Structure 1
Amino acid sequence: MEGSDKASAAANDQGPPDVTRSDVALSTGVDNNAPTLPAGAAQVVPEPLITQDDLIARVRSYNPATNESLLRDAWEFGRLMHDGQYRHSGEPYFTHPVAVAMILAQQQMDDATIITALLHDTVEDTRATYAEVEARFGAVIADLVDGVTKLTNLQLHSAETKQAENFRKLIMATSRDLRVTLVKLADRLHNMRTIASMRPEKQVKKARETMDIYAPLAGRMGMQWMREELEDMAFRVLNPEARDSIIQRFSLIQQESGDLVDQIKTDLLAEFEKSGIPAEVHGRAKKPYSIWRKMQEKDQSFSQLSDIYGFRVITKTDVDCYRALGAIHQRWRSVPGRFKDYISQPKSNGYRSIHTAVSARGGKRVEVQIRTREMHEVAEAGVAAHWSYRDGEPVQNRFVVDPARWIAQLSERFEEDQDHDEFLETFKLEMYQDQVFCFTPKGEVIKLPQGATPIDFAYAIHTRIGHACVGAKVDGLRVPLWTRLKNGQSVEIIIADGQTPQATWIDIAVTGRAKSAIRRWLREKDRDRFIKLGTELTRVAFENAGKKSTDKALATAARALAFENAEQLLLRVGAAEITAREVVRAIYPDLKLRDANEIDAEKAVVGLSPDQSFRRAPCCQPVPGERIVGITFRGQGVIVHAIDCPALSEYEDQPDRWVDLRWQEGQHRAINTVSLELSVANDAGVLGRVCTLIGEQDANISDLDFLDRKLDFYSLRIDVDVRDAEHLHRVMTALDADSHVSSLLRLRDAHRNLSWSAALPAAGATGH
């Protein structure tokens, strides 16, 4: 349910479903006569009403031994519990859990998962209790329902909860039974399919959360079809203009060259028939978001992007997979560097396929995935295939990964680690990257994400090897540590006693494991200095809030933020991994810090229409007192730029998107973040002095990062929250006047390469 869909609730956001894809006709990613246009481009039909008999018939189609009476009992119990609850459209609320159950039935899930879907909101939102569910449906189902309830209550959409912590909570909360996550993903999928009925700002909030958390999680679990659908629905909300543009370009291509998917599919089948290879071929155009992401990653326009078509070849045996690959490469020229053999080196979630890219008919570059039927089942269901049925029996697929082992491997490194941001790096940053496989001198295979370096390789072997790394040989030749490794290379790590990690390695490393190990070592090395700096930062933050940074206050904040003790808390503050303001808010979440005459943040800018929200552009970071202009994003609000921001040149040919704005006159809140770069002397107490100077000007440090460390000077980037240009001037003057500050610069990186998500305003965004 996700907390916002009942008309009986005070703040109902969910309304009548938009025209959406049918749950009954749910695509599993295999293209059955798929159109050339991306999914979502064609007109779609409203969701049909799913009856009890529809659901049971669907389950019986793959599991004739299903406990039909228990399914009917769960249906009636769920319907009774949700009686009187409605969606905003007037639909009975129970249509939502039914739709979730049908999504899971489409994936041929077991009875316990289907029943959990029907009951997943009962304990949270009705008078039903855990004990009642357990007595009626058993302990397993009661625990699953309880698990979904706890996931919903994690408040993953909370602005106060860091995205990294959300990932950690998701994994840890579902470690007992992964079916909890499967139900939650299906729950989110249905809510995204009906997202058009929410308020615009609520749509943006849910879409961001889906793009950042649920879609990557589905991908990590191997459920690519769900990941792609979630991404595309979120993309429709977050950047409708880009999505519409891609769909229009597809229409033009189809008019100019006909149905290339059918043409290339025919070519492939003819080639396989000639070679005597029994195979199925399914083709499709890629999803709009997948194309957009490639455009961003490769910095290419749509016309430059060639691999926008994908094909799947399904054979009978492993040998046929390699025969099919040979036939394809004999017919068409392969694209260098685009070959991946996940059959001989499968992914951790059980995924197996051969990937290749070729220049096919008309020189169009296409991607081809080749796999057997068994491999295909795992490729579609991912880890969920463990609970799937086929021919009335639980699937006996030799490629299915044991979910308990999978979740243990994923979370084992983080059970003791309280660094949520490092967890995010390990879990999320590698989410979309293809793997490369390199060999140790003894022939052992090391899996790494694409773009990995010898440093990543060293830490993948052992943390001790990584710490002691002084060089590397690739295929027998000495190479720099920043060298990007390629598939099949042999890597030898050279170590030396007394060698320790360097701060610059963080920028060279790609994997979260390597980055985390390096940061931990550097943190421990500078432990005393970081604790002193953290002490000073928190002292200033508490004083700005009119409070005292006592030992008891710090201990209380440490418990609230899940740190072992106050020392660990100060260490993380000093290392700029959490902010001193977060420490204050952990104890005083409702503390009012602004004066009565301060301007409300949402009213800080004049010139917006009543329904428009705004966000300060991160490239130029304008503050009150500076001339500004806005650029609109349809349905998403306005990005506010300084009038002299070079980024505005991108919109010179779109005058209809420009909005004449000005700052509201009066006293603004100190929430406008500005980045400053300083060079300061490496003397005792200097960092504390810098923090004190900023605090004395009634400004808050929201982030601090060491850019370079030398024996005599430090280079820092400090993010300072100020009221306006005058306030910023006072802060910079105070810093510039200090004899220990050798240089001071306001960073206005107008050329920063912002992604589409970073350029869009947040839901309900203000000047913060």
Structure 2
Amino acid sequence: MSAIEVFADNLGSYLEPEQVNLVRRAYFYAEQAHDGQTRRSGEPYVTHPLAVAHILADMHMDHQSLMAAMLHDVIEDTGIPKDALVAQFGDTVAELVDGVSKLTQMTFETKAEAQAENFQKMALAMARDIRVILVKLADRLHNMRTLGALAPEKRRRIAKETLEIYAPIAARLGMHSLSTEFEDLGFKAMYPMRSQLIDRAVRSARGNRKELLNRILDSLQACLEREGLQGKVMGREKHLYGIYQKMRGKRKAFTEIMDVYAFRIIVDKADTCYRVLGAVHSLYKPFPGRFKDYIAIPKANGYQSLHTTLFGMHGVPIEIQIRTEEMEELANSGIAAHWVYKSKDDVINGNHARTRQWLKSVLELQQNAGNSLEFIENVKIDLFPDEVYIFTPKGRIMELPKGSTPVDFAYAVHTDVGNSCIACRVNRRLAPLSEPLQSGETVEVITAPGARPNPAWLSFVITGKARSNIRHFLKHQRHSESIALGERLLDKVLTSFDTHLGDIPQPRIDRVLKDCGMEHLEDLLSDIGLGNRMAYVVARRLLAADGGVEETEKQRIDQSPDDTGSGENPLAIRGTEGLVVSFARCCNPIPGDPIVGYLSSGKGMVIHQENCKNLVDSRHNTEKTMHLTWDKDVSGEFTVELRVELEHQRGIIAQLATGITVADASIDKISVDERDGRISVVQLVIRVRDRLHLSQLIKRIRSLNGVMRITRLKN
């Protein structure tokens, strides 16, 4: 019997006869298309697609996935167009083949940007139809199994890409068997010597452990029989790459890792899992804090099991996993287990809602990411989840990666909740937004209508969703604020020519936009607001754009003073301009101080005190510096730095802090230096509303006993 007939015969165990015929037809089509082509090993090329289909059939995948497996290299290697596959096998199969072909063209080379672009394509293909990635994973697995025919350099490159990309994706989809085989094959190809050494050591240790392992296994089996519980006890081998990672990551010796004996107990139903747990805990003492219940709270990829560690005979640690047959199948095959499809729409069984949710979040990350490198950074975080389980106030459980903060939690609940988050309660007490969360905590997010994300959050959030949404919001906010500032700057210059932006004819604006290589006026205004273009230069171009300006007006434009705003109407600062207007840390200007603005390319306007030493070299650049004034309705808190010299006496620092608080100012930073045994120097960074508020504060500090001198620090 030919290879395809043997394969078709096996498919009959779970597919309908007409479905088996369609798979057979796809094989013959591929055989004809690849006629004359061979693999590096010298075998006919069609043996590869057949082997890929075998891997998927072992997972009981549907007939369309098997057809796509047979045809997955046809578009790329034989020149047969996608349209021909649509005509022969229908849209769904052709789309799957096309998706796999696009993934096959991906090369994960050294260029980070190219690798990120390719990974992005892969994630999007997964999100459209998860079967694309399953066919691709099976294709990669067969290639890994037959790596021997390739040159060492290529073997290492493919192995690296498998360990970095494909193994984590298989793990994230719950496909443990596949992920483990990827890791061991990748490890063997990447580090052949290390792999051999560990393999040899494992074989040797296995021989020494055999007797004790059998005794433990017999005692566990006997324990179940005594309790009248049905269950199958199996020894569980640690795979080579897992041992290597533990040796490297946890800095453990090989003997420490091999001293742990691992077993799996498979039972009939979830209820029996807990009864078996009770039985083994009465047989051997459990390690405190080493019990995990993934049945009540499954992992993000759907994995379910009970995990416990026991003190076995002679004090050896025994790791035990207890699960049902169904959980075992799901643990090994993940998303591919219990694949169900309906006649009209190919859908994933309800067991895989978690995976659907993850794929949906992948799409959301892609839409919000600024570029592919940012996207891959975010997705890779989500590919390696060591989870914590957090409760909402209503008792709903949410899984988050270990190290997540309340801000990560807020974005996991909903993007709008994250964007408007201002504070949180952890177990009913107010807690910092940057505090890492622990499993079992109940988190309540406090929101406010006008709140917005804080750029500082990016320094502590760890989930891709939080990071990408904060960046997306800030980017959008910065863009709209730079447009508003750019419009104010441009209008201010145009006012000095007795006109306004609204008075400039549209054809003139279009001509200037064309010269600048831009499509929209907003982009030009944003560039001005960010300091990338000078408002005065743009104004001159707008006024002279059509060449139809009167001679006297042209002279006025050419002879006009610079754009320093030294005329009658300097630009007024309100304090609410946002991210594109910042206050220089060298001189800390506050309302009431004479100020100038310096346009810094890409950053917007930086405001300095008029006499700031750091502006000495920039003053000649009249296009970039401009005189400013404070708006009469200026609002906000502004940083100021004070140096206080005081006599060294008990409780004086506390009195100083109290005095500042009473004066309605807040302390950002305080540091104390002892000049000698009698005098202390206190450096304060505080927030005030304006110069009047500062003078009231200084007056209050001066009234304290022991205060000798107060200086406001500038530069």
Q: TM-score range by the shorter chain?
A: 0.5 to 0.7
Determine which of 307, 317, 337 is the counterpart of 1:365: 317
In the alignment, residue 333 of structure 2 is paired with which amino acid?
A
1:254 to partner: Cα distance: 2.7
Unaligned 5+ residue runs, structure 1?
Answer: 1-48, 532-549, 559-563, 575-678, 690-709, 714-768
Per the alignment, in what secondary structure is the counterpart of residue 273 of structure 1? helix
Deviations 1:690-716 (A, max 9, x none): xxxxxxxxxxxxxxxxxxxx9899xxx
Alignment of 1:423 with 2:375, yes or no, is: yes
Determine which of 305, 308, 333 is the counterpart of 1:353: 305
Q: Distance in 1 between matches of 2:151 and 2:516?
A: 40
Q: Distance in 1 between matches of 2:472 and 2:377?
A: 14
Q: Distance in 2 between matches of 1:365 and 1:553?
A: 74
- Calculate percent identity across the aligned residue pairs: 39
Aligned ranges for residues 45-64 of structure 1 at < 5 Å? Answer: 51-63=3-15
Q: Distance in 1 between matches of 2:133 and 2:452?
A: 40
Structure-1 residue corresponding to 2:233:
281
In the alignment, residue 278 of structure 2 is paired with which amino acid?
G
CA root-mean-square deviation: 4.2
Distance 1:387 1:528, change over 3 A: closer
Q: Distance in 2 between matches of 1:469 and 1:99?
A: 52
Distance 1:459 1:178, change over 3 A: closer
Q: Distance in 2 between matches of 1:216 and 1:336?
A: 30
Deviations 1:618-662 (A, max 9, x none): xxxxxxxxxxxxxxxxxxxxxxxxxxxxxxxxxxxxxxxxxxxxx
Deviations 1:572-626 (A, max 9, x none): 9x9xxxxxxxxxxxxxxxxxxxxxxxxxxxxxxxxxxxxxxxxxxxxxxxxxxxx
1:353 to partner: Cα distance: 2.2
Per the alignment, in what secondary structure is the counterpart of residue 236 of structure 1? helix
Structure-2 residue corresponding to 1:209:
161
Q: Distance in 2 between matches of 1:412 and 1:471?
A: 25
Structure-2 residue corresponding to 1:432:
384
**More displaced stretch, 330-339 vs 377-386:** 330-339
- 8 Å contact from structure 1 (residues 221, 349) kept in 2: yes
Unaligned 5+ residue runs, structure 2?
Answer: 484-511, 533-583, 588-596, 604-637, 642-715
Per the alignment, in what secondary structure is the counterpart of residue 446 of structure 1? strand
The structure with more helix, counted as a fraction of residues: 2
Determine which of 33, 39, 46 is the counterpart of 1:94: 46
Aligned ranges for residues 351-430 of structure 1 at < 5 Å? Answer: 351-387=303-339, 399-401=351-353, 407-415=359-367, 417-430=369-382
Per the alignment, in what secondary structure is the counterpart of residue 486 of structure 1? coil
Aligned ranges for residues 583-732 of structure 1 at < 5 Å? Answer: 684=598
In the alignment, residue 139 of structure 1 is paired with which amino acid?
D
Aligned ranges for residues 317-328 of structure 1 at < 5 Å? Answer: 317-328=269-280
Structure-1 residue corresponding to 2:410:
458
Per the alignment, in what secondary structure is the counterpart of residue 384 of structure 2? coil
Q: Distance in 1 between matches of 2:528 and 2:68?
A: 43
**More displaced stretch, 178-187 vs 308-317:** 308-317
Alignment of 1:152 with 2:104, yes or no, is: yes
Structure-1 residue corresponding to 2:192:
240
Distance 1:312 1:480, change over 3 A: same
Q: Distance in 1 between matches of 2:443 and 2:264?
A: 33
Q: In terms of Rg, which structure is larger?
A: 2
- 8 Å contact from structure 1 (residues 469, 494) kept in 2: yes
Structure-1 residue corresponding to 2:490:
none
Q: Distance in 1 between matches of 2:526 and 2:160?
A: 31
Aligned ranges for residues 223-238 of structure 1 at < 5 Å? Answer: 223-238=175-190
- 8 Å contact from structure 1 (residues 314, 371) kept in 2: yes
Structure-1 residue corresponding to 2:661:
none
Distance 1:361 1:420, change over 3 A: farther
Q: Distance in 2 between matches of 1:441 and 1:320?
A: 31
Alignment of 1:446 with 2:413, yes or no, is: no
1:307 to partner: Cα distance: 7.8
Distance 1:502 1:144, change over 3 A: closer
Structure-2 residue corresponding to 1:725:
none
Determine which of 75, 83, 94 is the counterpart of 1:142: 94
1:184 to partner: Cα distance: 0.8
- 8 Å contact from structure 1 (residues 349, 401) kept in 2: no
In the alignment, residue 85 of structure 2 is paired with which amino acid?
V
Q: Distance in 1 between matches of 2:33 and 2:515?
A: 44
Distance 1:136 1:494, change over 3 A: closer
Q: Distance in 2 between matches of 1:570 and 1:306?
A: 65
Structure-2 residue corresponding to 1:264:
216
Q: Distance in 2 between matches of 1:333 and 1:163?
A: 49
Per the alignment, in what secondary structure is the counterpart of residue 88 of structure 1? coil
- 8 Å contact from structure 1 (residues 223, 381) kept in 2: yes
Alignment of 1:489 with 2:444, yes or no, is: no
- 8 Å contact from structure 2 (residues 427, 442) kept in 1: yes
Q: Distance in 1 between matches of 2:439 and 2:280?
A: 21
TM-score (norm 2): 0.63
1:174 to partner: Cα distance: 3.5
Distance 1:527 1:93, change over 3 A: same
Distance 1:140 1:491, change over 3 A: closer
- 8 Å contact from structure 2 (residues 20, 63) kept in 1: no
Distance 1:255 1:385, change over 3 A: closer
Deviations 1:400-452 (A, max 9, x none): 54976663354245345444344334422132323221212232222212232
Q: Distance in 1 between matches of 2:133 and 2:348?
A: 22
